[in-house]
Amino acid sequence: FWDFLILFFCLPVVIFNEITKKRLLGDVSCRILPFMEVSSLGVTTFSLCALGIDRFHAATSPQASARPIEQCQSIIAKLAVIWVGSMTLSVPEILLWQLAQDTSPVSGIVTEYCTMKPSSNLPESVYSLVLTYQNARMWWYFGCYFCLPILFTVSCQLVTRRISGTEKKTECRGTKHSQCESHLNCTIIGLTIIYGLCTTPENVCNIVVAYMSPDMSKQTLDLLNLINQFFLFFKCSVTPVLLLCLCRPLGQAFMDCCCCCCESCSPDTASSEGSADSKLKTEMSSSIFFDKPRESPPPLLALGTPC
C-alpha cells in the first residue's frame, strides 16, 4: 500500500517537474515527497526485519505445526508500529528541504528545484537538530535503510537454515510444512534482493556527492537525484508484483478478490459453488507469512447430501 502511495503521489510530481521545470504544489511537494520516499524505505526495512523474525520463530518453535495463527489485531499492531516508526524517523525530511529558484544563463527560463537547506526561521534548538541530521544523513541512510535490512535478513536466513538442517528428520517438520517454510524464505530473500539492488545506486550516489559535491555541477547532481528517484519508483512497482508471484497464498487471495465481481454476477448455483470454493481456499491460505498450516479440511460431501 505504501508503494502504491509513492507511485500515485510522487511519480506524477517528479515527471511534471522534469517536463515543465516547475514544481507542482510548490514548497509543499518539496517537503512531502522526501518525507514519503524516506518513509517508504523505513516501511520496507522494518517489514523485512519483522518477516525475518517471524521466519526465525517458525524455525525455532519446538512444535511449529501446533503454533496458533496470529490474530489480526496483533498483525495490525505490528503494522502500526512499523508505519508510525518509519514516519517518525522521516520527520526531519520535512524541515530539511525547501523550494528554490534558478535562472538559466542560456535560455533565461526560471526553473524551480528542491534544495537541502533548513529554513532559518526554525527555532534554534530545532535548527541545530536538523543540521545534525543533514550532516549524518548519508551514513544514517547507509546504516539504517541499507545495511540493517540486508544484514538482518541474511542473519535470520543463516540461523533458520542451520536450525532447519539439524531438525530435518524430526517428526514435527512435515514435508508439506517444510516446503511452505522454504517457499516463504525464498519470498523474503527475493524481496531483500530487489530492495538491495534498487537502493544501492542511491547510497553510492550519496557517498559520491558527499565527498565530491564541490567538483560536480548542478546538472550532474540533479541527474543523480533523478536516477535515485526512479530506482525507488522501480522498486515500488516490482515489489508488489514479486510478492504476489512468489507468495502463492497471497497471489491466490488477490486473484479471488479481483474475481469476486465476476462471481457475484454469475447465477446463484455458480455463485454458491464459487463461494464455497473460495471459502475453502481462504481457509487454506489464511496464514501467509505464519508457519502453521490449517488443519486438513474434512472430506467434501457430494452435492445434495445432508450436512
Sign, CA dihedral 8-14-18-24, equals positive
Cα(54)–Cα(44) distance, integer angstroms: 15
Cα(279)–Cα(252) distance, integer angstroms: 12
Question: Cα 288–292–298 angle (5° rounding)?
Answer: 100
Task: Provide the residue-wise pLDDT of the chain in tens; the chain has 307 residues.
Answer: 888 888 898 888 888 888 887 888 878 888 898 899 899 999 999 998 888 888 777 777 665 555 567 788 888 898 999 999 999 999 998 888 888 877 766 666 777 778 888 887 888 888 888 888 888 888 888 988 999 989 888 888 888 777 766 655 454 445 666 667 777 777 888 888 888 888 888 888 888 777 776 667 777 777 888 888 888 889 888 888 888 877 777 778 878 887 775 665 554 444 444 554 554 445 444 444 444 444 455 555 544 444 4
Cα(52)–Cα(157) distance, integer angstroms: 7
CA-wise closest residue to 162 among 65, 60, 66: 60
Reported pTM: 0.74
Sign, CA dihedral 199-40-37-41, equals negative
Name the DSSP class of 8: I
Cα(64)–Cα(26) distance, integer angstroms: 53
Which structural domains are found in the chain, ordered by start?
1-61+70-167 (1.20.1070.10)
CA-wise closest residue to 14 among 28, 27, 32, 33: 33
